[in-house]
Amino acid sequence: MAEDSGEDGGRRGFRGSWRVPMEFMRTRFLVGLGFLAPFIITWIVLDFLINFLRDVTQPAFFDVFGRSIPGLGVAILVGVPLIFGTLALHFVGVKAMATLEATAVRVPLIGAIFTVSHQIVSAMGGGGQSGFRKVVTIEYPRRGIWSLGFLTRVITLGDEEKIALVYIPTAPTPNSGNMLLLPISEVMETDMSVNELMRTVLSAGVASPEHIVRRPLSLTPEGEVEGVAND
């Protein structure tokens, strides 16, 4: 019996001696993985874009120059947005890009896709009165449960009732979500920026602010909501 007790105690001591270093390694591994994950995801996305652009354009460049061009995907990924950004800030470029957009809108099928895509990009960027300019919170999907969303517009329903259009993005893919119509009295604006809410959604709440201030919507003397389009 004494020998058995000694063996059991030895096994417990052996397991206990391994538990400490394993916990030590596990904690640091998870912390390191959490730190590296955004870099890895960014690298995967960039690698996909670079390879895609290289595979699409390399044959044409090979026909012209007779050889492959190293770094072509990177050059296109950086150069094309840089060129269009430079044009967009130049008077002549602004007119040319406006003409290009107007032409794209008039093309059947392509015009419908382009228009929707343009509106989504403008909204995500918070540009103009039609962008995502206010982050709000509402009780959804039921009383007592709060959801964060974007106040996109305020419309008039019927003769006089003001209705807020609130887009509730789905985590972690904000390009999908629910569009809700609510009385403006049931919508609370927050001190969060559009970028803060986007980070919160993309990280499934991990990168959310520690404290969010909410308050009733700011109204003008005419009863319109400040900072968004009122119809």
Matching residue, tokens 């206990």: 16
Question: Are the C-beta atoms of residues 182 and 163 closer than 8 Å to each other?
Answer: yes
Whole-angstrom Cα distance, residue 101 to residue 122?
14
Q: Report the distance separating Cα 224 and Cα 231, nearest Å.
A: 9
Taking only the tens place, the pLDDT of each residue in 17-60 is: 566 677 777 777 777 777 777 778 778 888 888 888 888 888 88
Average the pLDDT over each of 7-11, 136-140, 153-157, 171-175 and give the range with the smallest value: 7-11
Beta-carbon contacts of 175 under 8 Å, excluding residues fewer than 6 positions away, are 120, 169
CA 99 to chain CA centroid, nearest Å: 29
Q: Do 164 and 182 contact (CB within 8 A), yes or no?
A: yes
Biggest CA–CA distance in the chain, Å, is: 95
φ and ψ at 146, to 5 degrees? -100, 140
Helix, strand or coil for residue 176? Answer: strand
User: What's the confidence (pLDDT) of residue 140?
Assistant: 92
> For the ranges 6-20, 23-37, 77-91, 210-224, which has the lowest average pLDDT?
6-20
Residue 231 to residue 220: CA distance in whole angstroms: 14
Q: Which secondary structure element, helix H or strand E, spans residue 155, and what is its range?
A: strand 146-157
The Cα 93–Cα 96 span in angstroms is 5
Helix locations, the chain, DSSP H: 2-65, 72-88, 91-106, 110-125, 194-202
What whole-number distance in Å separates Cα of residue 169 and Cα of residue 150? 8
Whole-number pLDDT of residue 16: 53
pTM (two decimals):
0.54
Q: Residues 114-162: pLDDT tens digits?
A: 777 766 666 665 555 556 778 999 999 988 999 999 998 888 887 777 8
